[in-house]
Every structure is written in C-alpha cells, then in structure tokens.
Amino acid sequence: MDNGYLKLRANIALKQKFGSQCFIAFWMEAAPLFPQLFDKAVHMLLPFATTYACGQAFWTLAYVKNVPRNRLNLGADMRLTLSVSEARIAFLVQGKHVQLHVGE
C-alpha cells in the first residue's frame, strides 16, 4: 500500500485533479488505479461523510473526553453517541421478567 501511495503522490495529473475536483469525483477516478488506497480512504472517511457528521463526531469526542472517566478506548462510547438508530426500550422491557422478592 505504501508503494501505491507513493505512486499516487507522484502522479502529476491526479495531483492537479485532486485540487480541482470534488473529493468524491477524484476518488472515483483514482479507485481503479489504486484500489487498496481507495478501500483505505473509504474505510477511514465514510463515518464523516457530511460536515454535520464530522462536527457531531468532534463534539461527541470532546464531550466524552471531558466526562470524568478513565477510558483509553472511546470507540464504544462514540458508536453509541453517534448512532442514528433509536433505542427500542419497550421491546427490551417486554423481554424482562419481573422478579418478586417475598419478605421473610
């Protein structure tokens, strides 16, 4: 992959297109020439597909880092906070059984 990166950097025509085209158009043209770099770029950039999503991720990270917790891996907190899925609380509650404790 490093070799592909060096070839991409050395390609003057693609370097000019990178400055003049939108990001998506550039990678769609470069994808057949550099498939491994394309896959890596998609994997890294897809979570931040819009500026809104990027901003949300930044502020979520800033918030999670300020919460008084000693966590080195923030992945789970970030995924939970940035998820667009809605919690199905009623469904989860239905699956729980009430346990009654009889006093002695």
104 within a domain of the structure (yes/no):
no
- The predicted-structure confidence for 18-77, as pLDDT tens digits, reads as follows 788 887 788 788 888 888 888 887 777 776 667 777 777 777 777 777 766 656 667 777
Shared-domain flag, residues 33 and 55 = no
- Clarify whether residues 26 and 41 are in a common domain: yes
- Mark out the alpha helices in the chain (DSSP H runs): 2-10, 12-20, 23-30, 35-45, 51-66, 75-82, 89-94
Identity (one letter) of the amino acid at 35? P
What pLDDT does 72 receive? Answer: 63
Residue-number span of the structural domain to which 81 is assigned: 51-92
Domain membership of residue 101 (yes or no) is no
Q: Is residue 103 part of a domain?
A: no
- Domain identity same for 43 and 8: yes
Same domain, 32 and 63: no
| Residue 5 near residue 37, CB atoms below 8 Å | yes
> Does residue 43 fall inside a structural domain?
yes
Answer yes or no: do 64 and 34 share one domain. Answer: no
What total of structural domains would you count in the chain? Answer: 2
CA atoms within 13 A on the CB side of 98: 2
- Contact criterion met (CB below 8 Å) for 74 and 64: yes
Overall pTM > 0.85: no
